[in-house]
Amino acid sequence: MTAEEFEGYFTGIALPEQVDIDSGVTIQDVPLFIASHLNYIKANEGKKGTEVYYDRLNRLVAYMEAQRNQEA
């Protein structure tokens, strides 16, 4: 996903307050996490250091999709 696609995905959906996206990796403020990661990606577009930020956002999307599938 691109930064714009992440923004579109997270816009208008209910976000949990806290999420465990991996063993030992807890997001304690999901909206702040999303905003800070998107800001970093946009400010550093094309640089190698953004990979981890994309990875964490993808893990959050996977978590959100899994939660949505469990509710269906």
User: pLDDT tens for residues 7-56?
Assistant: 999 999 999 999 998 888 899 999 999 999 999 999 999 898 999 999 99
Q: Would you say residue 72 has pLDDT above 80?
A: no
pLDDT number for residue 9: 96
Rounded CA gap, 56 and 72, in Å? 25
- Residue indicated by tokens 């996903």: 1
Taking the model in full, what pTM does it have?
0.90
- Separation of CA 27 from chain center: 10
Q: Would you say residue 68 has pLDDT above 90?
A: no
Do 63 and 19 form a contact (C-beta atoms < 8 A)? Answer: yes
pLDDT number for residue 22: 86
